[in-house]
Structure 1
Amino acid sequence: MLKLTTNNITLSQSAEDKFSAIESLASSLCAQGLVAEGYVEGMLNREKQNSTFLGNGIAIPHGTVDTRDMVNTTGVSVHHYPNGVNWGDGNIAYVAIGIAAKSDEHLGILKQLTKALSADGVEQRLQTAKTKDEIIALLNGDVQLEADFDASLIQLNFPVSDMIQMTAVGAGLIKNTGCAEREFVADVVAKTPTHLGHGLWMVGSEKQVSRTAVSYVSTANDCQFDGQPVKALVAIAACNNAHQSIVQNLTQLVFGNKQASLLEADVETVIALLKGDNVTMAVSNDNQAIFKIKNTHGLHARPGAMLVAEAKKFESNIRVSNLDGDGKSVNAKSLMKVIALGVKHGHQLQFSAEGPDASEAIESIGAAIASGLGEG
């Protein structure tokens, strides 16, 4: 599989605009023998069709389908722009990845970038990066920019009867993932949690933490602490700022007096609420549909962007899952989430929509996919 390595990176580059940057990347690809000289025209034409800026300071310029025969060997060239390059629409790229792909090998690169594209703080870190290793670590998602928080760190309706048991369970979940050691558990149990209202509490510690993580524990038992009800606890193990986005989402719930939405949620919804994702909603059969992707090279950047642009035309909450992948549904209005599905030619996507224009959204998305998402 095509992977990014330090050998692909050229540091301290500068360019007047994105087209100059693309010409420079094309020259690098050509110098490596990856493409013929005319490939640059395909890259420039591709950019004129639709921006290759993905987000978080990252752009992935590449050729058109018509110039694939100019690719000798699949590969990449990565240029780092500390001062940034204006990629249009107010978007600044600090890293541009020039891609030469004979078929759909570059989908692996796109999927590889999803962590960097979805995490807060990547753009600033890419701008200030000084070494090739630092850039690769950021692009590969090896630098922790988001706290660990998944189903293994959630325990609903656990039969605890007091706050000490609640904090012990919350800290224990984090310890079991290897993110923290015994001193963390002991410190959390000894601390006095903060009441966030309606029986929701929070506690945290930095002691013996090797990786930032968050856990969530709820109980069905009737118990109290300091005269206040105890229904659920958010425990935080912090060794960096990766938990800040979760804390911000939790703060918004508290300020909006929406603690009940978290307290009454299932595991999937707890994750969505604290990570700030759209919550999956039940939809009627009329607002669901399965469409097969007929694009020869799957949902690479251009058709992926076209699909997301179509979904964004509608007010409704739209989810999509790859039935030929892991089946997990994601926000169809997020390019990074859609690309992460790893959709190839012939894969079936299931869409669901909930909202005032749900049926129109499903119909329009189906028509866009049938028309080839900009690729005929």
Structure 2
Amino acid sequence: MLKLTNDDITMAQAAKDKIAAITTIAEQLNERGLVTSEYVTGMLNRELQNSTYLGNGIAIPHGTTDTRDLVNETGVVIHHFPDGVNWGDNNLVYVAIGIAAKSDEHLGILKQLTKVLSVDGVEEKLKAATTEQDIITLLNGDVQFEADFNQQLMQLNFPATDMIQMAAVAGGCLKNQDCVAQQFVAELVVKAPTHLGNGLWLISGDKAVNRSAMAFVTTSEHCEFNGEVVKGLIVIAACNDTHHGFLKTLSHCIFEQQQGELLIASKDKLIAYFTNHEEDDISSDSALTETFRINNTHGLHARPSAMLVATIKPFSANIMVKNLDGEDKTVNAKSLMKVIGLGVKYGDRLQFIADGDDAKQALAAISEAIVSGLSEG
């Protein structure tokens, strides 16, 4: 993970254009002994190949792969531009992260940034930042923009025989992820749950919550509460309004009577359903699946990721992707930040799931693009 310090950040900078901004950043990288003076040429050439603008007011200027020998030590320098710098196509950059990487460390930086690149509100906060710590807090994702829901917050087919056990397991998942304190768990087991229908129940709370999050527990045993069947329990812990997306998705689920599908869905499908806020069926017999190996020497950094997403976006099919050799999560393949967040390295296998009228054509286009090297040969 990128460990930032106040010394890495230079506040209140100004530049007439991105060339001037990149040149100044390169000079500071050189002054700190991270790169040689010639590295600036690689940074400018990299910008000519493809913009390093990522979104939400952030750019990551860095050198080309053939200038890595000019890097003495991996590191970053960050410049804050409160008035913004036009990075092309009228995209204003408020924070530019100059990267000196000896190998593929920039993939880790990209992955870390995905949380702040894929949510609303970050750009204005970066623009309004006044201290180095403001920048560090935002880039590290310490400001919560999305409620947590991941593999560790689920316990499927647990042998629970009553609601108290279900609530305790859900509370334990939340506590183990440092989302809640013990007080939340203690109060959870005595709260009256709400039946959402078809055996799915809900409990929520806002006491002793550190981070908004959701836990999901299903049982493999016969379980009842007040004479009604219990098959699964959702627990929402809220300390801000980031959980509203979960509630919206649940409302859609209830309206469409999809509770039964939630209760038998895999962890991957549950994550895709809730974190991507998809409003279609989470399971389909018509979905097609293909797996491709990435042969790009430096993995899917910003440029090949952008080419992959550009290939996928024209298709109407719902297309998800999972890095079989990375974290166990499935993301929307049409989201550049989600794809970058997979941290795909050379040799990793990507599994694509396409569902829609043009799913077959989409997978064929993905195959062709990956085989051709995603603009890198």
* TM-score using structure 2 length: 0.80
In structure 2, what is the Cα distance between the partners aligned to 1:235 and 1:199?
Answer: 14
What does the per-residue CA deviation read over 1:64-115, in whole Å, with 9 as the maximum and x for residues that have no partner?
3454455454432211233444444564433211123344232232223233
Is structure 2 residue 318 aligned with structure 1 residue 332? Answer: no
Q: Tell whether the 8 Å contact from 1:157 to 1:218 is kept in structure 2 after alignment.
A: yes
Specify the alignment match of 1:207 in structure 2.
207
In structure 2, what is the Cα distance between the partners aligned to 1:201 and 1:69?
Answer: 58
In structure 1, what is the Cα distance between the partners aligned to 2:283 and 2:123?
Answer: 28
Is structure 2 residue 286 aligned with structure 1 residue 305? Answer: no
In structure 1, what is the Cα distance between the partners aligned to 2:240 and 2:271?
Answer: 20
Specify the alignment match of 2:356 in structure 1.
355
Is structure 2 residue 89 aligned with structure 1 residue 94? Answer: no
Give 1:333 shift: 2.3
Identity score, percent? 57
In structure 2, what is the Cα distance between the partners aligned to 1:172 and 1:69?
Answer: 48
In structure 2, what is the Cα distance between the partners aligned to 1:327 and 1:228?
Answer: 34
What does the per-residue CA deviation read over 1:255-303, in whole Å, with 9 as the maximum and x for residues that have no partner?
5554444344333322322222665766777x5142341x332222111
Give 1:193 shift: 4.0
In structure 1, what is the Cα distance between the partners aligned to 2:56 and 2:209?
Answer: 28
Q: 1:41 to 1:196 in 2, by over 3 A?
A: same
Q: 1:123 to 1:69 in 2, by over 3 A?
A: same
Specify the alignment match of 1:345 in structure 2.
346
SS where residue 268 of structure 1 aligns? helix
Specify the alignment match of 1:111 in structure 2.
111
2:292 to 265, 290, 293: 290
In structure 1, the gaps of 5 or more residues are none
In structure 2, what is the Cα distance between the partners aligned to 1:177 and 1:109?
Answer: 22
Q: How does 1:1-376 map to 2 (within 5 A)?
A: 3-68=3-68, 70-89=70-89, 91-118=91-118, 121-156=121-156, 167-175=167-175, 177-196=177-196, 200-218=200-218, 221=222, 223=224, 232-254=232-254, 258-276=258-276, 279=282, 287-293=289-295, 295-326=296-327, 328-376=329-377
* TM-score using structure 1 length: 0.80
In structure 2, what is the Cα distance between the partners aligned to 1:62 and 1:106?
Answer: 9
What does the per-residue CA deviation read over 1:154-204, in whole Å, with 9 as the maximum and x for residues that have no partner?
344556677666545544543454533443234334444445555544332
- Matched residues, number: 373
* Aligned residues: CA RMSD: 3.6
What does the per-residue CA deviation read over 1:338-365, in whole Å, with 9 as the maximum and x for residues that have no partner?
3233333344444443332233222222
> Given residue 76 of structure 1, which amino acid in structure 2 is its aligned partner?
V
Q: Tell whether the 8 Å contact from 2:294 to 2:349 is kept in structure 1 after alignment.
A: yes
> Given residue 205 of structure 1, which amino acid in structure 2 is its aligned partner?
G
In structure 2, what is the Cα distance between the partners aligned to 1:34 and 1:182?
Answer: 45
SS where residue 288 of structure 1 aligns? strand
